[in-house]
């Protein structure tokens, strides 16, 4: 891109130089006195063309964005429940069971059928679980549960 800008600048510069030499060779004073407005207009047009080309190349350049994200990788060791966090957050076994089922992708209705409880009971347990984990959504609760070592 920079080579193109330099090349365009060099070409425009050479054209300007050729024009100046041409003006010197013919009646310079006559042209300057009689056609000064046209010459100034041409120079201004050339300036705007250069500026437009430069801005076009500058603004349309692809910007590289580097995204760094920390990803938790599970170890080969078997999952061990973090009992201390479980007690600190006072999460019941039923809430933990519901969190595991949410992590498996089950809906509230499917969880209710699997645990033989009503759907409103599942919603109550989920709501309390979300409050304890400070989560707003099911996916956020699963993520926090994994980070805290509550679910594999």
Mean pLDDT by 10 residues, the chain (152 residues): 78 81 71 72 87 84 79 69 81 88 90 90 90 88 86 82
Separation CA 12–CA 86 (nearest Å) = 73
**Do 101 and 111 touch, CB atoms closer than 8 A?**
yes
| Tokens representing residue 119 in the block | 């759907």
Is 3.40.50.2000 the CATH classification of the domain at 83-147? no
Distance of alpha carbon 29 from alpha carbon 35, whole angstroms:
10
Quote the pLDDT of residue 82.
76
Report angle CA 36, 37, 41 to the nearest 5 degrees: 115
The C-alpha atoms of residue 109 and residue 52 are separated, in whole angstroms, by: 61
Q: What is the pLDDT of residue 72?
A: 73
The DSSP letter of residue 124 is: H
Q: What is the pLDDT of residue 96?
A: 87
């Amino acid at each position: 891109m920079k080579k193109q800008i330099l090349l365009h600048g060099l070409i425009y510069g050479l054209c300007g130089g050729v024009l100046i030499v041409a003006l010197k060779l013919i009646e310079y004073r006559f042209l300057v006195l009689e056609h000064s407005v046209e010459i100034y207009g041409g120079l201004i047009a050339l300036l705007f063309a250069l500026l437009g080309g430069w801005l076009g190349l500058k603004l349309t350049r692809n910007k590289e964005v580097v995204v760094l994200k920390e990803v938790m990788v599970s170890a080969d060791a078997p999952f061990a429940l973090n009992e201390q966090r479980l007690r600190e957050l006072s999460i019941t076994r039923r809430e933990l069971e519901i969190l595991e089922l949410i992590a498996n992708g089950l809906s509230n209705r499917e969880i209710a059928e699997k645990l033989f409880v009503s759907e409103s009971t599942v919603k109550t347990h989920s709501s309390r679980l979300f409050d304890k984990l400070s989560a707003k959504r099911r996916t956020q609760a699963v993520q926090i549960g994994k980070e805290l070592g509550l679910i594999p």
